[in-house]
């Protein structure tokens, strides 16, 4: 009994149909924002999540390399030079490139497949399928590759023993692993460096795409990075794992249109939300102009009307956000399933909070635009 | 000395008067489009008097009402509402003055989304008397014969009942002045009669001054005094009650 009558709440509840349309509108805007951020987040994750599977502490890469699938090779000597630095226990060259993969199933279309290649004796990856001695033996066989189970189904059968063509050479799937190629690659293969030379001929092995460095236990990574930077010429950069992940993420988000597209998507959804909420609030204010003017005649200040409109805006924000979040979670799940896990769209707490803030901001802006109508009512005009 | 005496005099006069108007002029528009609507109005409204303001349409009745209600800023003459001069006050300073005045409009202007009681409570909330607002609202509605309608929305009330809710909203804070513009225009004869009788009853009890604009001849008899306004000038001013003391 001791509380103010919530005019905002009662006004919203009074027009049920309008309220439902408003909630649907806000929820739709929230959903669009979540999907855009979800794709952006998934992109960021996919560009870097395979780095988690690299069995290395530091990375060497050419300064001209944009991200891991767009590399400029550097001389293998850099790795041998790095091997002499205190704290470095092992160096491993990693080669990468694209081959044209022929779908073993009809209609036998060919698509670019991303290839990782290394010396099978080096423990480059952490995937358990690649760590067994038999897997190493299979990798060493000529024209035999391991096939990524998270490649898109369009590449055809992933079954072990499947025979098809890569770069016009016969190839046999000798094993499987699960890694994923993110946005850069729809499918990936792993092969030995000897096979790499065959499939990507003429590609000499003394030019390396990415250098992998393992540290001795207890070595300080920062100190080794500094030592490497001093010892190595300017044709290679030294990264920690987090550093090279950041480089790739930054590339995808800022140097390609992808970050721009999703950023624009968020902006457009935000504006759509503002327009929807503005329309609803404006109509509501217009319908209640005599009442608002009466309140001003009674001695209410503009601040009170301001509060009513802002409260309506915030209530709409809250009521639209919740269904928007729930549907987004469903669509995230759907996207995850539709892309067979290769596009890891995942909700996280900071995004939940960020979009909530955006929603509140969106509705507040609409409230601020539409409230002018209520504030400008002249109480002398109601007579 | 002289100044002190006249000051004291004006204070004692102000105590007796709800509204004191002297040589008030009012214009709409500015520059070439400026049009004077009220000409040299001087008028005293004592406390507790019920005054009906009549006149042809366009004579400035409603404008005068909005001026007395502190709804417009004023520049010429003098207008004291409850002893406070409001000519020359900025819009912001007018707001607290409005809180001593109850407004009743031709349309009820109730929030359709709020119950009768909640509509009345919005008025009580202005006084920060929030703890008792429900009780005050229910009492007021009860006195206006709406005890069984306190939780009804305006849609479920008749025209007369809605107007009575609006009156309850205007009177619940026991204002010293009530300004009403055609309060019976939208009502049939019987409900119109009921509404003004109730108003009269309350205002007599609380010593409230009422200024009512009306064209409705059926209700002229509730007034103590009838003022006629023609073309923005006071045409006639007749006291119907001889015992009403007028201070000049």
Q: Which residue has the higher pLDDT, A215 or A201?
A: A215
The pLDDT of residue B32: 84
**In this predicted model, what pLDDT tens digit does every residue of B166-203 receive, in sequence order?**
989 998 988 889 999 988 887 788 888 888 888 888 88
Task: For residue B154, give the DSSP letter.
Answer: G
pLDDT at B227 > cutoff 60: yes
The C-alpha of B105 sits at a distance from chain A's nearest C-alpha, in angstroms, of: 6
Considering the domain boundaries, does residue B20 fall inside one?
Answer: no
Q: Which residue has the higher pLDDT, A208 or A383?
A: A208
Considering the domain boundaries, does residue A241 fall inside one?
Answer: no
Sheet with B17-28: list strands edge to edge: B35-46, B17-28, B76-81, B84-85
Same domain, A69 and A42: no
The pLDDT of residue A137: 93
CB-nearest partner of B134 from A1, A293, A379: A1
Cβ count near B8 (within 10 Å): 10
pLDDT at A48 > cutoff 50: yes
The C-alpha of A291 sits at a distance from chain B's nearest C-alpha, in angstroms, of: 5
Q: In chain B, which residues have their Cβ closer than 8 Å to the Cβ of A13?
A: 113
Considering the domain boundaries, does residue A251 fall inside one?
Answer: no
Cα–Cα distance between B7 and B107 in angstroms, integer? 42
pLDDT at A114 > cutoff 60: yes
The pLDDT of residue B2: 43
Considering the domain boundaries, does residue B14 fall inside one?
Answer: no
Beta-bridge partner residues of B178: B102, B210
Note whether B26 and B201 are within 8 A (CB): no
Considering the domain boundaries, does residue A55 fall inside one?
Answer: no
Helix (H, G, I), strand (E, B) or coil at A174: strand
Average pLDDT over residues B239-243: 61
Beta carbons of A380 and B103 less than 8 Å apart: no
Same domain, A225 and A284: no
- Mean pLDDT, chain A, as a whole number? 90
Cα–Cα distance between A369 and A362 in angstroms, integer? 11
Same domain, A361 and A285: yes
How many distinct structural domains can be found in chain A? 2
Cα–Cα distance between B230 and A199 in angstroms, integer? 104
Considering the domain boundaries, does residue A72 fall inside one?
Answer: yes
Give contacts of A 130-149 with B, CB under 8 A: none
**In this predicted model, what pLDDT tens digit does every residue of A143-154 receive, in sequence order?**
999 999 989 888
The pLDDT of residue A208: 95
Beta-bridge partner residues of A212: A59, A92
Beta carbons of B118 and A293 less than 8 Å apart: no
Same domain, A127 and A261: no
Cα–Cα distance between A15 and B77 in angstroms, integer? 47
The C-alpha of A9 sits at a distance from chain B's nearest C-alpha, in angstroms, of: 9
Considering the domain boundaries, does residue B111 fall inside one?
Answer: yes
Beta strands in B29-108 (DSSP E): 35-46, 50-54, 76-81, 84-85, 101-104
Average pLDDT over residues A362-379: 89
Cα angle B134, A378, A287; round to 5: 65
Average pLDDT over residues B120-142: 87
Q: In chain B, which residues have their Cβ closer than 8 Å to the Cβ of A290?
A: 105, 107, 109
DSSP A132-147: SHHHHHHHHSTTEEEE
Considering the domain boundaries, does residue B3 fall inside one?
Answer: no
**Residue from A286, A294, A301 whose CB has the most chain B CBs within 10 Å, to mutate:** A294
Length of chain A: 383
The C-alpha of B173 sits at a distance from chain A's nearest C-alpha, in angstroms, of: 11
Q: In chain A, which residues have their Cβ closer than 8 Å to the Cβ of B69?
A: 297, 379-380
Inter-CA distances, B70 with A315, B67, B125, B136, B205, Å: 34, 5, 20, 26, 25
Q: Which residue has the higher pLDDT, B192 or A227?
A: A227
The pLDDT of residue A3: 67
**In this predicted model, what pLDDT tens digit does every residue of A241-253 receive, in sequence order?**
999 998 988 888 8
Give contacts of A 14-33 with B, CB under 8 A: 14-15
Same domain, A81 and A137: yes
Which range of A177-186, A246-255, B224-233 scores highest in mean pLDDT? It is B224-233
The pLDDT of residue B241: 60
Same domain, A194 and A226: yes
Same domain, A121 and A168: yes
**Residue from A9, A14, A298, A378 whose CB has the most chain B CBs within 10 Å, to mutate:** A298
Confidence of residue A63 (pLDDT cuts 50, 70, 90): very high
Q: Which residue has the higher pLDDT, B70 or B6?
A: B70
Average pLDDT over residues B104-127: 90
Note whether A258 and A46 are within 8 A (CB): no
Q: Which residues contact A57 (CB under 8 A, 6 or more apart)?
A: A213, A214, A215, A221, A240, A241
Considering the domain boundaries, does residue B170 fall inside one?
Answer: yes
Domain coverage including residue A31: 7-47+257-382
CB-nearest partner of B126 from A7, A14, A298: A298
Average pLDDT over residues A269-280: 91
Cα–Cα distance between A155 and A100 in angstroms, integer? 10
Same domain, A297 and A213: no
**Residue from A291, A292, A305 whose CB has the most chain B CBs within 10 Å, to mutate:** A291
Considering the domain boundaries, does residue A30 fall inside one?
Answer: yes
Task: For residue A26, give the DSSP letter.
Answer: H
Same domain, A313 and A181: no
Note whether A237 and A60 are within 8 A (CB): yes
The chain B residue lying nearest A9, using CA atoms, is B113
pLDDT at A268 > cutoff 90: yes
The pLDDT of residue A339: 80
Domain coverage including residue B209: 47-74+88-239
pLDDT above 90 covers a percentage of chain A that reads 63
Note whether A29 and A320 are within 8 A (CB): yes
**In this predicted model, what pLDDT tens digit does every residue of A303-345 receive, in sequence order?**
988 999 999 999 999 999 999 999 999 999 998 888 877 678 8
Cα angle B3, B8, B11; round to 5: 125
Average pLDDT over residues B146-163: 91
Give contacts of A 274-333 with B, CB under 8 A: 288, 290-291, 293-295, 297-301
- Long-range CB contacts (within 8 A, 24+) of B24-28: B24/B67, B24/B74, B24/B76, B24/B77, B24/B78, B24/B79, B24/B87, B25/B76, B25/B77, B26/B60, B26/B63, B26/B67, B26/B72, B26/B74, B26/B76, B28/B63
Same domain, A28 and A115: no
Beta carbons of A11 and B96 less than 8 Å apart: no
The pLDDT of residue B7: 45
Cβ count near A314 (within 10 Å): 16
Length of chain B: 248
Joined together, the tokens standing for residue A233 give 């010429």
pLDDT above 70 covers a percentage of chain A that reads 98
pLDDT at B11 > cutoff 80: no
Considering the domain boundaries, does residue B25 fall inside one?
Answer: no
Please tell me whether the interface predicted TM-score (ipTM) of this complex is above 0.90: no
Joined together, the tokens standing for residue A194 give 């000897």
Same domain, A94 and A210: yes
**In this predicted model, what pLDDT tens digit does every residue of B37-50 receive, in sequence order?**
999 999 999 888 89
How many distinct structural domains can be found in chain B? 1
CB-based contact (8 Å) between B69 and chain A?
Answer: yes
pLDDT at A179 > cutoff 80: yes
Cα–Cα distance between A247 and A294 in angstroms, integer? 61
Helix (H, G, I), strand (E, B) or coil at B245: coil
Q: Which residues contact B106 (CB under 8 A, 6 or more apart)?
A: A383, B181, B182, B183, B185, B186
The C-alpha of A18 sits at a distance from chain B's nearest C-alpha, in angstroms, of: 13
- Domain with B52 in it: what CATH number? 3.40.50.300
Helix (H, G, I), strand (E, B) or coil at A112: strand
The pLDDT of residue B165: 93
Same domain, A274 and A155: no
pLDDT at A2 > cutoff 60: no
Q: In chain B, which residues have their Cβ closer than 8 Å to the Cβ of A294?
A: 103, 105, 109
The pLDDT of residue A26: 93
CB-nearest partner of B105 from A5, A294, A378: A294
């Amino acid at each position: 009994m001791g509380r103010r009558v919530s005019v905002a709440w009662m006004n919203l509840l009074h027009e049920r149909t309008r309220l439902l349309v408003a909630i649907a509108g806000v929820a739709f805007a929230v959903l669009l924002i979540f999907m855009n951020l979800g794709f952006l987040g998934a992109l960021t994750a996919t560009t870097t999540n395979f780095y988690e599977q690299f069995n290395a502490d530091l990375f060497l890469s050419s300064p001209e390399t944009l991200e891991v699938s767009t590399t400029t090779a550097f001389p293998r000597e850099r790795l041998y030079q790095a091997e002499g630095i205190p704290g470095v226990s092992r160096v491993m060259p990693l080669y990468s490139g694209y081959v044209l993969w022929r779908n073993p199933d009809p209609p036998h279309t060919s698509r670019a497949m991303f290839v990782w290649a290394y010396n099978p004796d080096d423990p480059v990856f952490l995937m358990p399928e690649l760590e067994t001695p038999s897997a190493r033996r299979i990798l060493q066989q000529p024209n035999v590759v391991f096939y990524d189970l998270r490649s898109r189904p369009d590449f055809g059968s992933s079954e072990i023993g499947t025979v098809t063509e890569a770069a016009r050479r016969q190839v046999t799937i000798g094993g499987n692993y699960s890694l994923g190629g993110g946005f850069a690659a729809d499918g990936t293969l792993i092969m030995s460096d000897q096979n790499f030379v065959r499939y990507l001929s003429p590609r000499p092995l003394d030019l390396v795409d990415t250098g992998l460095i393992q540290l001795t236990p207890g070595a300080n990574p920062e100190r080794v990075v500094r030592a490497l930077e001093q010892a190595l010429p300017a044709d290679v950069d030294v990264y920690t794992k987090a550093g090279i992940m950041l480089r790739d993420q930054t590339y995808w988000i800022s140097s390609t249109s992808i970050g721009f597209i999703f950023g624009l998507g968020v902006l457009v959804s935000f504006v759509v939300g503002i327009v929807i909420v503005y329309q609803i609030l404006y109509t509501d204010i217009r319908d209640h102009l005599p009442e608002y003017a009466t309140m001003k005649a009674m001695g209410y200040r503009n601040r009170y009307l301001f509060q009513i409109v802002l409260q309506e805006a915030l209530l709409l924000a809250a009521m639209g956000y919740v269904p928007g979040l729930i549907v987004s979670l469903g669509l995230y799940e759907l996207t995850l399933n539709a892309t067979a896990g290769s596009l890891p769209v995942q909700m996280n707490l900071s995004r939940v909070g960020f979009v909530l803030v955006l929603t509140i901001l969106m509705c507040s802006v609409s409230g601020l635009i539409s409230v002018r109508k209520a504030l400008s009512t002249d109480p002398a005009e109601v007579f | 000395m002289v100044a002190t005496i006249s000051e004291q005099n004006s204070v004692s006069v102000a105590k007796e008067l709800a509204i004191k108007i002297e040589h008030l002029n009012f214009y709409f528009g500015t520059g070439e489009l400026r049009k004077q609507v009220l000409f040299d109005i001087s008028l005293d409204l004592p406390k507790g008097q019920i005054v009906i303001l009549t006149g042809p349409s366009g004579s400035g009745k409603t404008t005068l009402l909005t001026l007395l209600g502190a709804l417009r800023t004023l520049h010429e003459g003098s207008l004291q509402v409850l002893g406070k001069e409001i000519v020359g006050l900025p819009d912001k300073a007018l707001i607290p003055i409005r809180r001593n005045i109850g407004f009743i409009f031709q349309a009820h202007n109730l929030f359709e989304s709020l119950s009768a009681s909640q509509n009345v409570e919005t008025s009580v909330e202005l006084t920060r008397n929030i703890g008792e607002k429900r009780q005050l609202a229910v009492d007021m509605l009860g006195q206006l014969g709406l005890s069984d309608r306190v939780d009804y929305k305006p849609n479920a009330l008749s025209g007369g009942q809605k107007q009575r809710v609006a009156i309850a909203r205007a009177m619940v804070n026991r204002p010293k002045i009530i300004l009403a513009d055609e309060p019976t225009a939208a009502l049939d004869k019987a409900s119109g009669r009921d509404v003004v009788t109730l108003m009269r009853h309350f205002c007599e009890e609380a010593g409230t001054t009422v200024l009512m604009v009306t064209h409705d001849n059926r209700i002229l008899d509730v007034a103590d005094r009838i003022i006629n306004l023609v073309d923005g000038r006071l045409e006639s001013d007749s006291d119907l009650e001889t015992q009403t003391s007028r201070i000049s």
